[in-house]
Amino acid sequence: MNLDHAEVLFYTFVGIFVCTAALTLLGLAGCITIREGYLKALFTSLLLEVVAGIVALYKSELLYRPPDSQVVVQDFYESISKRDFKHAYSLIDPESGFRKNYPFEIFKEGYGGTIGLNLLAIAPIANNAKDYNHEYAVYYYDQINMRTRPDLDDLLAIRFKNLTNLVSKIERLKQDAVAVGFKASTIDDLTFHQLSIINSQDRIANLLVRDSKMTDMTDADEKVSVLFPENRTIRAVRSYQLSLTKVNKHWYIERFTEGK
């Protein structure tokens, strides 16, 4: 068994505490003879060790309880990982702009390709001293079954000199999108950031469904399949900044901002 320095130190102090406790209790019980001065010193040492142990335990992760707002963030991503989309959606502020832009069916569809999600870290941001608004940076490892379109597979490799080629590809995508019933403005309003992320084609598909205000997800899936006929599994580390608000003593996620 290999022990690191911290473990060796931990077990050394445990051993000292056990020996001190045993000698003190045996001395107090009269089972062994210890001079009065030494017994008093042992008893004082035992009390100090107990107090120090309690303080160390309180400050350790064993008794650490994260803020309620952080628990909500963790609960959200764990629910997504378990595909419990209803519970995850219930953690979003009902009055938020996010809910208005993403009704439940579209929210669920957006995570439809998620195969696995492993939460890596939740880091509080400085303004969490406020009692009504908290923010967290969230990092997680995502595995997605992504919808793709062969002529857009090289989006991440586009160079400045190839911008004309990029424009012609996006124009072709817009024509095909309109042909199956999607809004052209969604394509026209795409940013370079949206085109350059690793699952850009999947995001474009979700934006088309959202902006066209489709409620029949079966019909939406069929139309998306025409535009993006192939599937590919990708893995990526993602980052988001989440803003939470406190409503009637309960924390809710108010806003998601994707990390750059």
Q: What is the pLDDT of residues 175-207, one digit of tens each?
A: 998 998 888 888 888 887 777 766 677 778 888
Report whether 135 contacts 241 (CB < 8 A): yes
Report whether 149 contacts 169 (CB < 8 A): no
Q: What is the pLDDT of residues 145-177, one digit of tens each?
A: 888 888 887 776 777 777 788 888 889 988 998
For the entire predicted model, the pTM comes to 0.57
Q: For a pLDDT cut of 90, what percent of the chain falls above it?
A: 19
41: left (phi over 0), alpha (psi -120 to 50) or beta: alpha
Q: What sections of 212-248 are H helices per DSSP?
A: 217-227
- Positions of the chain with pLDDT lower than 70, given as ranges: 1-11, 13-14, 17, 20-21, 23-24, 27-30, 34-36, 38-39, 42-43, 46, 49-51, 53-66, 126-130, 156, 197-199, 260
